[in-house]
Amino acid sequence: MDSQTPSSTPILELRDLTVDFGGVRAVNSFNMAVAPGELVGLIGPNGAGKTTVFNLITNAYHATSGQILMEGKNLRGLSPDRLCHRGISRTFQNIRLFPFMTAYENVELSIHSAPQYSLFEAFVRLPRARRKQQESRARAHQLLETVGLEKFAHARAGSLPYGLQRRLEIARAMAASPRILLLDEPAAGMNEDECKDLVNLIRQIHESQGYTIIMIEHHMAVVMDLCRRSRIYVMQLGANLATGGPEQIQNDPQVIKAYLGERKNVH
Ligand SMILES: Nc1ncnc2c1ncn2[C@@H]1O[C@H](COP(=O)(O)OP(=O)(O)O)[C@@H](O)[C@H]1O
Ligand SMILES: [Mg+2]
**CA 3 to ligand 2 center in whole angstroms:** 25
Residue of 14, 20, 24 to test ligand 1 pocket, by largest number of atoms within 8 Å of CB: 24
Listed residues 144, 177, 210: the one ending a domain: 177
Report the number of distinct structural domains present in the chain. Answer: 2
19 lines ligand 1 (CB under 6 A): no
Question: What predicted TM-score, i.e. pTM, was given to this entire model?
Answer: 0.90
Strands (E), the chain: 12-21, 24-34, 39-43, 65-70, 73-74, 88-90, 180-184, 212-216, 232-236, 239-244
Listed residues 177, 207, 237: the one ending a domain: 177
Confidence at 247, pLDDT banded by 50, 70, 90: very high
Write down the pLDDT at residue 267. 45
Confidence at 3, pLDDT banded by 50, 70, 90: very low
Residues 45 and 109 grouped into a single domain? no
**Higher pLDDT pick, 236 / 84:** 236
The half-sphere exposure of 87 on its side-chain side, counting CA atoms within 13 A, is 14
Residues 69 and 183 grouped into a single domain? yes
Residues 264 and 201 grouped into a single domain? yes
28 lines ligand 1 (CB under 6 A): no
CATH number at residue 112: 3.40.50.300
Domain that holds residue 242: 1-87+178-267
21 lines ligand 1 (CB under 6 A): yes
Residues 123 and 236 grouped into a single domain? no
45 lines ligand 1 (CB under 6 A): no
Mean pLDDT on 96-100: 93
Write down the pLDDT at residue 2. 42
pLDDT one-digit tens code per residue, 189-244: 889 999 999 999 999 999 999 999 999 999 999 999 999 999 999 999 999 999 99
Confidence at 138, pLDDT banded by 50, 70, 90: very high
Listed residues 129, 147, 177: the one ending a domain: 177
Residues 82 and 182 grouped into a single domain? yes
Question: How many Cβ atoms sit within 10 Å of the Cβ of residue 33?
Answer: 19
49 lines ligand 1 (CB under 6 A): yes
Residues 50 and 182 grouped into a single domain? yes
User: What is the distance between the alpha carbons of residues 134 and 128, in angstroms, rounded to a whole number?
Assistant: 10
